[in-house]
Amino acid sequence: MSAKGLLDRYGVSLRGLARRNRLRSLGPRAGLDFASNDYLGLAGSEGTAAAVATALANGTTVGATGSRLLRGNAPEHAALEAKAAGFFGAEAALFFGGGYIANLAVLTTLPRKGDLVVLDALIHASAHEGARAGHAHVVTVPHNDADAVDGAIARWRAGGGTGHAWIVAESLYSMDGDRAPLNELARVADRHEAFLFIDEAHATGVYGPDGRGLAHRYEGRENVVVLHGCGKALGASGALITAPGILCDYLVNRCRPFVYATAPSPLMAVAVAAALDIMTHEPERRQRLQDMVALASGKAQALGLKASGSQIMPIIVGDNRGAMVLAGRLQARGFDVRAIRPPTVPEGTARLRISLTLNVEKPDLLALLDALSEEWPR
Ligand SMILES: Cc1ncc(COP(=O)(O)O)c(C=O)c1O
């Protein structure tokens, strides 16, 4: 077979994506930041950079050199995990190289054969991936519907399910910016002796006392596992799983993405630890972001747009091409706004995902919303 023959099917697939206005390509960063998840402007902060520079000067290595179970277990990892457990109010914490891998890790390891995993319909792709690759039975329920979660578990039990149920939700949804009904979900979990796994990727650092997240009230419970993203508001990369100590011990022993992987860079552990200190010492960052959210919500409502009430503002356009064209027009005016299309979001809900961060000023935000109303009159 010729090389062309070997590669043909990929070209066919890409042309199919292009026909449906779903083709993606990598583009440069340009324009005012209304696209990143660097909500608190920490990715380039002096505090984090100084902590990393000091650690480097004092001998912290760039590479971890191996798995955490071998020589890769650096003191910086353990120091971060101890700090994070205290910060979030959990018994223990475990540091992973990213949120995607952490979701995959938890969901392929903790729910066991005979268990049930109940996924919110809008949960992140990595949770779907982990649930699918894991050993438990998986069901998806309508978005933010605690009664549907309750019903799914009850039906599974009535049908002979004997294991434990795992309820999986994001505390703040990445593409809609809306919050999960955590109180109701926790009640359902308690009623069914189920576990609650909460992905705080977009809430860590932004909400709760000291930025401990929307799930801070539930940390430390024996049936609660939380994923704290370190690559978004914390401005670094990685993810911290906070959980009862026995579950972290179990992950260390049984979680293949943890065991069979080179540990994250010790320098990244230092950066995340520094970001946690900034959470405590610079509450004004959170306040400034909330001021931006309030300003955006007021202005959006005045323009006839729906506000999510969080730093994630979806502008639902509907069709893929329309969303791309609108994003392109705003980009041409100097605003880095990205269109999000299926399968990242449900079919027919292509959108602009406007992200509010401290990397822009309030006048920039007002200018963006004015430009949006000119380019997309309602
Ligand atoms: C809700 C949610 N969970 C997990 C992830 C993955 O995190 P990371 O980017 O650190 O791999 C993301 C990031 O896109 C996310 O939005």
Q: What is the mean pLDDT of residues 22-29?
A: 92
Residues 345 and 357 in one domain: yes
Nearest C-alpha to atom 8 of ligand 1 is from which residue? 99
In tens, the pLDDT along 215-227 reads 999 999 999 999 9
* Residue 28 domain flag: no
User: Is there an atom of ligand 1 within 6 Å of 103 CB?
Assistant: yes
Indicate if the pLDDT at residue 193 is higher than 70.
yes
Residues 329 and 367 in one domain: yes
User: Is there an atom of ligand 1 within 6 Å of 355 CB?
Assistant: no
88: which residues sit within 8 A by CB, 6+ positions away? 212, 213, 216, 219, 226, 228, 240, 242
Residue 171 CA to ligand 1 centre (angstroms) = 12
Residues 118 and 204 in one domain: yes
Q: Which of 77, 164, 192, 202 is catalytic?
A: 202
Nearest C-alpha to atom 7 of ligand 1 is from which residue? 99
Indicate if the pLDDT at residue 367 is higher than 60.
yes
pLDDT band at 236 (very low <50, low <70, confident <90, very high): very high
User: Is there an atom of ligand 1 within 6 Å of 349 CB?
Assistant: no
Residues 191 and 326 in one domain: no
In tens, the pLDDT along 248-306 reads 999 999 999 999 999 999 999 999 999 999 999 999 999 999 999 999 999 998 888 88
Indicate if the pLDDT at residue 4 is higher than 90.
no
Indicate if the pLDDT at residue 238 is higher than 80.
yes
* Residue 248 domain flag: yes
Question: Do 70 and 220 meet the contact criterion of CB atoms below 8 Å apart?
Answer: no
* Length of the chain (residues): 378
164 is catalytic: no
Residues 309 and 260 in one domain: no
CB atoms within 10 A of CB 210: 15
CB atoms within 10 A of CB 1: 6
Domain end, chosen from 250, 280, 310, is at 280
Residues 206 and 312 in one domain: no
Residue 201 CA to ligand 1 centre (angstroms) = 6
* Residue 222 domain flag: yes
170 is catalytic: yes
* Residue 25 domain flag: no
The Cα 370–Cα 152 span in angstroms is 45
Question: Whose CA is closest to 80, among 280, 277, 283?
Answer: 277
What pLDDT score was predicted for residue 2? 56
Residues 269 and 295 in one domain: no
User: Is there an atom of ligand 1 within 6 Å of 204 CB?
Assistant: no
* Residue 8 domain flag: no
What pLDDT score was predicted for residue 3? 57
pLDDT band at 377 (very low <50, low <70, confident <90, very high): confident
202 is catalytic: yes
The CATH number assigned to the domain holding 350 equals 3.90.1150.10
Residues 262 and 298 in one domain: no
Domain end, chosen from 254, 280, 306, is at 280
State the chain's mean pLDDT as an integer: 97
Domain count, the chain: 2
Domain end, chosen from 238, 263, 280, is at 280
In tens, the pLDDT along 133-179 reads 999 999 999 999 999 999 999 999 999 999 999 999 999 999 999 99
Query: Which range of residues forms the domain containing residue 347?
Result: 283-375
Indicate if the pLDDT at residue 70 is higher than 70.
yes
Query: What is the three-class DSSP state of 30?
Result: coil
Residues 122 and 147 in one domain: yes
Indicate if the pLDDT at residue 378 is higher than 90.
no
Residue 176 CA to ligand 1 centre (angstroms) = 14
CB atoms within 10 A of CB 309: 14
The CATH number assigned to the domain holding 206 equals 3.40.640.10
Q: How far apart are the first and last CA of the chain?
A: 54
222 is catalytic: no
Indicate if the pLDDT at residue 204 is higher than 90.
yes
Nearest C-alpha to atom 16 of ligand 1 is from which residue? 174
Place of tokens 């996924």: 119
Do you find a cis peptide bond into 142, omega within 30 degrees of 0? Answer: no
* Residue 6 domain flag: no
Residues 241 and 335 in one domain: no
Q: What is the mean pLDDT of residues 9-36?
A: 95
The Cα 340–Cα 73 span in angstroms is 38
Indicate if the pLDDT at residue 5 is higher than 90.
no
199 is catalytic: yes
User: Is there an atom of ligand 1 within 6 Å of 231 CB?
Assistant: yes
* Residue 16 domain flag: no
Indicate if the pLDDT at residue 186 is higher than 80.
yes
Could you give the percent of the chain with pLDDT greater than 90?
96
4 is catalytic: no
What pLDDT score was predicted for residue 306? 85
Residues 256 and 162 in one domain: yes
Q: Which of 38, 115, 120, 170 is catalytic?
A: 170
Question: Whose CA is closest to 38, among 313, 231, 223?
Answer: 231
Torsions phi, psi for 190 (to 5 deg): -65, -40
Residues 53 and 120 in one domain: yes
* Residue 340 domain flag: yes
What pLDDT score was predicted for residue 212? 98
Q: What is the mean pLDDT of residues 191-210?
A: 98
359 is catalytic: no
Indicate if the pLDDT at residue 9 is higher than 90.
yes
Closest ligand 1 atom to residue 123 Cα is 1
